[in-house]
Amino acid sequence: MKVLVTGGCGYIGSHACVALAAAGHEPIVLDNFSNSNPKAVGRIEKLIGRSLVVYQGDIRDRLVLDCIFEQHRIGAVMHFAGLKAVGESVAKPLEYYDNNLSGTLNLLAAMRAAHIYRLIFSSSATVYGDPLTVPISETAQTGATTNPYGTSKHMVESCLRDFSAANPDWSITLLRYFNPIGAHPSGLIGEDPTGIPNNLMPFITQVAIGRRDTLSIFGNDYPTHDGTGVRDYIHVQDLVEGHVAALEERGNVSGLHVYNLGTGNGVSVLDMVAAMNKVLGRELPVRIEPRRAGDIAQCFAEVDKAEKELGWSANHDLMDMVEHSWNWQQRNPNGYQS
């Protein structure tokens, strides 16, 4: 099946293109390259063994969407395109709501006009806010978001829920990612953040490669096993396999489907540093700093539903994630610019 992959040259989208091709589907990419490098196209092509159809354009541009849907018999859309930096969203709420919410509504309208009724949406555990209990189930309360990014994701989920109720013949799947890290084992594609990384793993690998001096550990006084923040890190390969499973198991089932994509395991910052030190064979320079505003103590997934209904579960362990992240960084010290 031809699958439109919006944001298909980004961190997760690029891995999804490879996983789709491996499963016998044909990814068609739409990306405005606002947070990715066109060099990713050649890397993806190397991994899928054929050329990749890429449209440079914006999900907010109805004409480019109509053109793609006229040119290709698209069977489904995997929608990764969006802005995702929590801190940036506080400073630029308009850009985040325009991109993430208006962009998705524009995409939905174009899909409806083209009679394309399968959508898989990149949602986020951030819609759960600060959870009352962990592990977090799909039935947990959502909406207590604390930044425009998380609110934009929750708004899109609400729009898709209402749209699904009014259009029961559509198959719409919300995949709530926890903390994706890692890279394709080849080291050809990976996470290539612009500027100073917000997220833990790319910051760790940039310290390890010598691009950053020291890792700041934001708080060691949380109510966790070692005082540092605990998250559910999931290998990006497992994450995109979850997308293929959702397409194949729910793509022909109408209605709205919601799944957590995580491992169900909580890993602390110090656990992550220890794993990286083991891979490196040396100690990373770290410094304990005050808590980061907006951070929560613990967040990890209940993963039974995806396992039961999609026949999917994460199978890479923490060492795989750290090794593959480091392999990508070593082969690409400056990301795709290397």
Residues annotated as part of the active site: 149
Q: Using an 8 Å Cβ cutoff, are 189 and 18 in contact?
A: yes
Q: What is the largest CA-CA distance in the chain?
A: 57
Q: Is 199 in the site for ligand WQD (CB under 6 A)?
A: yes
Print the binding letters for residues 104-123 with ligand NAD: x by CB under 6 A, - otherwise.
------------------x-
Q: Is 88 in the site for ligand WQD (CB under 6 A)?
A: no
Print the binding letters for residues 216-245 with ligand WQD: x by CB under 6 A, - otherwise.
xxx----------x-x--------------
Q: How far is the CB of 72 from ligand NAD (least distance, A)?
A: 17
Sign of CA dihedral 146, 214, 190, 312: negative
Which of 69, 80, 161, 169 lies closest to 109 in space, CA to CA? 69
| Nearer CB in complex with ligand NAD: 12/276 | 12
- Segment interacting with ligand WQD (CB under 6 A) among 18-26, 50-58, 71-79, 214-222: 214-222
Q: How far is the CB of 172 from ligand WQD (least distance, A)?
A: 19
Please choose which of ligand WQD, ligand NAD, none residue 12 contacts, taking the beta carbon within 5 to 8 angstroms, the exact cut-off set by kind: ligand NAD
Q: Is 174 in the site for ligand NAD (CB under 6 A)?
A: no
| Nearer CB in complex with ligand WQD: 45/88 | 88
Q: Is 200 in the site for ligand WQD (CB under 6 A)?
A: yes
- As to burial, measured by CB atoms within 10 angstroms (0-12 exposed, 13-18 middle, 19+ buried), residue 169 is exposed
Q: How far is the CB of 91 from ligand NAD (least distance, A)?
A: 17
Site for ligand WQD in 113-172 (CB under 6 A): 124, 126
Rounded distance between C-alpha atoms, residue 286 and residue 234, angstroms: 23
Residue 234: other Cβ atoms inside 10 A = 27
Interface residue with ligand NAD, options 4, 17, 31, 156 (CB under 6 A):
31
The contacts of residue 94 (CB under 8 Å, 6+ apart) are: none
Rounded distance between C-alpha atoms, residue 52 and residue 59, angstroms: 19
- As to burial, measured by CB atoms within 10 angstroms (0-12 exposed, 13-18 middle, 19+ buried), residue 18 is buried
Q: Is 156 in the site for ligand NAD (CB under 6 A)?
A: no
Q: Using an 8 Å Cβ cutoff, are 65 and 112 in contact?
A: no
Q: List residues binding ligand WQD (CB under 6 A).
A: 84, 86, 124, 126, 179, 198-200, 203, 216-218, 229, 231, 269, 292, 295
